[in-house]
Protein backbone atom coordinates (compact mmCIF):
# COMPACT_ATOMS: atom_id res chain seq x y z
CA UNK A 1 0.00 0.00 0.00
CA UNK A 2 2.28 2.82 -1.16
CA UNK A 3 1.51 6.26 0.26
CA UNK A 4 1.28 9.51 -1.66
CA UNK A 5 4.78 10.43 -0.50
CA UNK A 6 6.93 10.53 -3.63
CA UNK A 7 9.01 12.58 -6.05
CA UNK A 8 8.40 16.12 -7.19
CA UNK A 9 7.40 14.93 -10.68
CA UNK A 10 3.63 14.75 -11.33
CA UNK A 11 3.01 11.23 -10.06
CA UNK A 12 -0.58 10.03 -10.21
CA UNK A 13 -2.33 7.10 -8.57
CA UNK A 14 -4.57 4.92 -10.73
CA UNK A 15 -6.70 1.95 -9.68
CA UNK A 16 -7.09 -0.69 -12.38
CA UNK A 17 -9.14 -3.89 -12.36
CA UNK A 18 -9.62 -6.75 -14.76
CA UNK A 19 -11.30 -9.96 -13.60
CA UNK A 20 -9.34 -11.16 -10.51
CA UNK A 21 -6.61 -8.54 -10.93
CA UNK A 22 -6.89 -5.36 -8.85
CA UNK A 23 -3.86 -3.12 -8.93
CA UNK A 24 -2.77 0.34 -7.89
CA UNK A 25 -0.34 2.06 -10.25
CA UNK A 26 1.82 5.04 -9.26
CA UNK A 27 3.66 6.74 -12.11
CA UNK A 28 3.59 9.76 -14.36
CA UNK A 29 0.27 9.91 -16.19
CA UNK A 30 1.81 9.12 -19.58
CA UNK A 31 3.04 5.70 -18.39
CA UNK A 32 -0.26 4.52 -16.88
CA UNK A 33 -1.77 3.17 -20.15
CA UNK A 34 1.44 1.23 -20.83
CA UNK A 35 1.24 -0.39 -17.40
CA UNK A 36 -2.41 -1.34 -17.93
CA UNK A 37 -1.69 -2.84 -21.37
CA UNK A 38 1.28 -4.77 -20.02
CA UNK A 39 -0.80 -6.22 -17.19
CA UNK A 40 -3.47 -7.39 -19.63
CA UNK A 41 -0.90 -8.94 -21.98
CA UNK A 42 0.80 -10.72 -19.07
CA UNK A 43 -2.56 -12.11 -17.95
CA UNK A 44 -3.26 -13.31 -21.49
CA UNK A 45 0.03 -15.19 -21.67
CA UNK A 46 -0.60 -16.86 -18.32
CA UNK A 47 -4.19 -17.77 -19.21
CA UNK A 48 -3.11 -19.28 -22.55
CA UNK A 49 -0.50 -21.37 -20.79
CA UNK A 50 -3.06 -22.62 -18.27
CA UNK A 51 -5.25 -23.80 -21.19
CA UNK A 52 -2.17 -25.61 -22.54
CA UNK A 53 -1.55 -27.26 -19.15
CA UNK A 54 -4.09 -26.79 -16.31
CA UNK A 55 -1.63 -28.41 -13.88
CA UNK A 56 0.36 -25.16 -13.99
CA UNK A 57 -2.52 -23.40 -12.22
CA UNK A 58 -3.47 -26.18 -9.81
CA UNK A 59 -0.19 -27.59 -8.54
CA UNK A 60 1.18 -26.52 -5.16
CA UNK A 61 4.58 -27.97 -6.05
CA UNK A 62 7.32 -26.58 -8.31
CA UNK A 63 6.55 -27.03 -12.00
CA UNK A 64 8.95 -27.82 -14.85
CA UNK A 65 8.00 -25.58 -17.75
CA UNK A 66 8.75 -26.43 -21.40
CA UNK A 67 11.72 -24.75 -23.05
CA UNK A 68 9.47 -22.63 -25.28
CA UNK A 69 7.31 -21.28 -22.44
CA UNK A 70 6.77 -17.48 -22.35
CA UNK A 71 9.23 -15.45 -20.29
CA UNK A 72 6.70 -14.68 -17.55
CA UNK A 73 5.94 -18.39 -17.14
CA UNK A 74 9.65 -19.16 -16.84
CA UNK A 75 10.04 -16.38 -14.26
CA UNK A 76 7.15 -17.74 -12.18
CA UNK A 77 8.46 -21.30 -12.37
CA UNK A 78 12.00 -20.32 -11.38
CA UNK A 79 10.67 -18.39 -8.38
CA UNK A 80 8.46 -21.32 -7.38
CA UNK A 81 11.37 -23.77 -7.55
CA UNK A 82 13.48 -21.53 -5.32
CA UNK A 83 10.67 -21.32 -2.75
CA UNK A 84 9.41 -24.92 -3.13
CA UNK A 85 5.86 -23.75 -3.88
CA UNK A 86 3.55 -23.85 -6.89
CA UNK A 87 4.12 -21.35 -9.72
CA UNK A 88 0.84 -19.47 -9.17
CA UNK A 89 2.32 -18.33 -5.84
CA UNK A 90 4.43 -15.95 -7.94
CA UNK A 91 1.74 -14.71 -10.34
CA UNK A 92 0.91 -11.34 -8.78
CA UNK A 93 4.55 -10.42 -8.26
CA UNK A 94 5.47 -11.49 -11.78
CA UNK A 95 2.72 -9.33 -13.29
CA UNK A 96 3.68 -6.32 -11.14
CA UNK A 97 7.32 -6.75 -12.11
CA UNK A 98 6.50 -6.97 -15.82
CA UNK A 99 4.46 -3.76 -15.70
CA UNK A 100 7.08 -1.75 -13.83
CA UNK A 101 9.83 -3.04 -16.11
CA UNK A 102 7.84 -1.91 -19.15
CA UNK A 103 7.42 1.59 -17.72
CA UNK A 104 11.11 1.86 -16.83
CA UNK A 105 12.15 0.73 -20.30
CA UNK A 106 10.02 3.57 -21.73
CA UNK A 107 11.76 6.12 -19.50
CA UNK A 108 9.83 6.15 -16.20
CA UNK A 109 12.02 7.13 -13.27
CA UNK A 110 9.39 6.47 -10.59
CA UNK A 111 6.96 3.58 -11.04
CA UNK A 112 5.09 1.38 -8.57
CA UNK A 113 2.57 -1.40 -9.21
CA UNK A 114 0.78 -2.83 -6.18
CA UNK A 115 -1.00 -6.03 -7.19
CA UNK A 116 -3.01 -6.91 -4.09
CA UNK A 117 -0.07 -6.42 -1.73
CA UNK A 118 2.59 -7.76 -4.10
CA UNK A 119 4.44 -4.60 -5.02
CA UNK A 120 7.05 -3.91 -7.69
CA UNK A 121 8.92 -0.64 -7.26
CA UNK A 122 11.38 1.53 -9.15
CA UNK A 123 11.87 4.71 -7.14
CA UNK A 124 13.47 8.08 -7.74
CA UNK A 125 12.72 9.25 -4.20
CA UNK A 126 11.79 7.44 -0.96
CA UNK A 127 8.18 6.46 -0.30
CA UNK A 128 6.27 4.95 2.60
CA UNK A 129 4.63 1.55 2.19
CA UNK A 130 1.95 0.61 4.69
CA UNK A 131 1.54 -2.87 6.17
CA UNK A 132 -2.10 -3.87 6.44
CA UNK A 133 -3.11 -5.98 9.45
CA UNK A 134 -6.25 -6.39 11.54
CA UNK A 135 -4.41 -6.06 14.85
CA UNK A 136 -4.71 -2.49 16.23
CA UNK A 137 -1.31 -2.93 17.87
CA UNK A 138 0.26 -2.66 14.42
CA UNK A 139 -2.10 -0.04 12.99
CA UNK A 140 -0.28 2.59 10.96
CA UNK A 141 2.88 0.52 10.70
CA UNK A 142 4.85 0.71 7.49
CA UNK A 143 8.21 0.83 5.78
CA UNK A 144 10.23 3.90 4.81
CA UNK A 145 11.55 2.66 1.48
CA UNK A 146 14.64 4.47 0.17
CA UNK A 147 16.04 1.90 -2.27
CA UNK A 148 16.41 4.06 -5.38
CA UNK A 149 16.99 3.54 -9.11
CA UNK A 150 16.57 -0.23 -9.11
CA UNK A 151 13.62 -2.54 -9.62
CA UNK A 152 12.71 -4.68 -6.59
CA UNK A 153 9.75 -6.15 -4.81
CA UNK A 154 7.98 -6.03 -1.46
CA UNK A 155 5.45 -8.86 -1.43
CA UNK A 156 2.99 -9.98 1.22
CA UNK A 157 1.05 -13.16 1.95
CA UNK A 158 -1.61 -13.58 4.63
CA UNK A 159 -3.42 -16.51 6.14
CA UNK A 160 -6.25 -14.37 7.53
CA UNK A 161 -6.65 -11.41 5.15
CA UNK A 162 -7.58 -11.56 1.47
CA UNK A 163 -8.17 -14.41 -0.96
CA UNK A 164 -4.63 -15.82 -1.21
CA UNK A 165 -4.12 -19.48 -0.41
CA UNK A 166 -2.00 -19.88 2.73
CA UNK A 167 -1.57 -22.75 5.14
CA UNK A 168 -0.40 -20.48 7.96
CA UNK A 169 -1.90 -17.96 10.35
CA UNK A 170 0.19 -14.86 9.67
CA UNK A 171 -1.60 -11.56 9.22
CA UNK A 172 1.33 -10.42 7.10
CA UNK A 173 4.29 -12.41 5.81
CA UNK A 174 6.47 -9.93 3.94
CA UNK A 175 9.50 -10.63 1.75
CA UNK A 176 11.85 -8.17 0.04
CA UNK A 177 13.88 -9.19 -3.01
CA UNK A 178 15.23 -7.71 -6.24
CA UNK A 179 13.30 -10.40 -8.14
CA UNK A 180 9.64 -9.53 -7.53
CA UNK A 181 8.30 -12.95 -8.55
CA UNK A 182 10.75 -14.51 -6.08
CA UNK A 183 9.59 -12.16 -3.33
CA UNK A 184 6.00 -13.20 -4.02
CA UNK A 185 6.76 -16.94 -3.98
CA UNK A 186 8.83 -16.63 -0.81
CA UNK A 187 6.10 -14.61 0.90
CA UNK A 188 3.84 -17.62 0.29
CA UNK A 189 6.50 -19.91 1.76
CA UNK A 190 6.87 -17.70 4.84
CA UNK A 191 3.11 -17.49 5.25
CA UNK A 192 2.78 -21.27 5.00
CA UNK A 193 5.46 -21.79 7.64
CA UNK A 194 3.94 -19.25 10.05
CA UNK A 195 1.54 -21.68 11.70
CA UNK A 196 1.76 -20.20 15.19
CA UNK A 197 3.36 -17.34 17.10
CA UNK A 198 5.82 -19.70 18.80
CA UNK A 199 9.26 -18.09 18.65
CA UNK A 200 10.90 -21.21 17.22
CA UNK A 201 8.26 -21.50 14.49
CA UNK A 202 8.77 -17.87 13.51
CA UNK A 203 12.56 -18.22 13.53
CA UNK A 204 12.46 -21.35 11.37
CA UNK A 205 10.25 -19.62 8.81
CA UNK A 206 12.43 -16.53 8.64
CA UNK A 207 15.62 -18.61 8.45
CA UNK A 208 14.21 -20.70 5.60
CA UNK A 209 13.10 -17.72 3.55
CA UNK A 210 16.17 -15.54 4.05
CA UNK A 211 18.38 -18.50 3.11
CA UNK A 212 16.82 -18.52 -0.40
CA UNK A 213 19.33 -17.00 -2.81
CA UNK A 214 18.15 -13.56 -3.89
CA UNK A 215 16.01 -12.79 -0.83
CA UNK A 216 17.13 -9.66 1.01
CA UNK A 217 14.91 -9.75 4.08
CA UNK A 218 11.62 -10.88 5.56
CA UNK A 219 9.13 -9.95 8.26
CA UNK A 220 6.13 -11.70 9.76
CA UNK A 221 3.27 -10.44 11.92
CA UNK A 222 1.21 -13.06 13.73
CA UNK A 223 -0.86 -12.61 16.86
CA UNK A 224 0.87 -10.02 19.04
CA UNK A 225 4.31 -10.66 17.58
CA UNK A 226 6.41 -9.09 14.87
CA UNK A 227 9.65 -10.78 13.81
CA UNK A 228 12.09 -10.02 11.03
CA UNK A 229 15.41 -11.03 9.58
CA UNK A 230 17.81 -9.69 6.96
CA UNK A 231 17.67 -6.34 5.17
CA UNK A 232 14.21 -4.96 5.94
CA UNK A 233 13.30 -1.28 5.35
CA UNK A 234 13.06 0.93 8.42
CA UNK A 235 9.73 0.61 10.24
CA UNK A 236 7.84 3.89 10.62
CA UNK A 237 4.35 5.15 11.36
CA UNK A 238 2.53 5.88 8.11
CA UNK A 239 -0.82 7.33 7.16
CA UNK A 240 -2.22 5.13 4.40
CA UNK A 241 -5.96 5.72 3.85
CA UNK A 242 -8.23 2.71 3.49
CA UNK A 243 -9.01 3.64 -0.11
CA UNK A 244 -5.30 3.30 -0.98
CA UNK A 245 -5.28 -0.43 -0.28
CA UNK A 246 -5.14 -2.45 -3.50
CA UNK A 247 -8.35 -4.46 -3.43
CA UNK A 248 -11.33 -5.09 -5.66
CA UNK A 249 -13.54 -2.00 -5.77
CA UNK A 250 -15.88 -2.91 -8.64
CA UNK A 251 -18.16 -5.84 -9.28
Collect all residues with Cβ–Cβ distance below 8 Å to 48 and sequence separation of at least 6. Answer: none
Burial of 13 per CB tally in 10 Å (0-12, 13-18, 19+) = middle
Output phi, psi for 101, to 5 deg. -60, -40
pLDDT (0 to 100) of residue 128: 94
* Higher-scoring residue by pLDDT: 186, 223: 186
3-state secondary structure of 128: strand
Band of pLDDT at residue 242, cut at 50, 70 and 90: low
Query: pLDDT tens for residues 230-241?
Result: 999 999 998 765
**Is it the case that residue 4 has pLDDT exceeding 60?**
no
**How confident is the model over 90-98, as a mean pLDDT?**
97
Q: No. of H helices and E strands in the chain?
A: 6, 11
**Is it the case that residue 56 has pLDDT exceeding 70?**
yes
* Nearest residue to 178 via CA among 211, 236, 217, 209: 217
pLDDT (0 to 100) of residue 135: 86
Domain boundaries, given as residue ranges, for the chain: 11-237
Alpha carbon distance 194, 208 (integer Å): 11
111-115, strands of its sheet edge to edge: 11-18, 21-28, 111-115, 118-122, 152-157, 172-177, 215-222, 225-230
Query: pLDDT tens for residues 17-53?
Result: 988 889 999 999 999 999 999 999 999 999 999 999 9
**How confident is the model over 202-207, as a mean pLDDT?**
98
pLDDT (0 to 100) of residue 186: 98
pLDDT (0 to 100) of residue 19: 81
Burial of 210 per CB tally in 10 Å (0-12, 13-18, 19+) = buried
**Is it the case that residue 212 has pLDDT exceeding 60?**
yes
pLDDT (0 to 100) of residue 6: 46
Query: pLDDT tens for residues 121-173?
Result: 999 999 999 998 888 899 889 999 999 999 999 999 987 765 666 778 899 99
- Cα 173 off chain centre by: 11
Phi/psi-derived region of residue 199, left when phi > 0, alpha when psi is between -120 and 50, beta in every other case = alpha
pLDDT (0 to 100) of residue 133: 86
pLDDT (0 to 100) of residue 159: 73
Q: Which fold has domain 11-237?
A: T-fold (3.10.520)
**Is it the case that residue 2 has pLDDT exceeding 90?**
no
Amino acid sequence: MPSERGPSNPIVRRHFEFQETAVTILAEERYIPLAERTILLAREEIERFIIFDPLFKDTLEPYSEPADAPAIIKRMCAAARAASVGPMAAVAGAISETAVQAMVEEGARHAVVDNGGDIALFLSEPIDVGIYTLNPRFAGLGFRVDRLNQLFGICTSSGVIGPSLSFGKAEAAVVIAKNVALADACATLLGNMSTSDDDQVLQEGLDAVVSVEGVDGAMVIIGEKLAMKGAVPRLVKVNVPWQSISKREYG
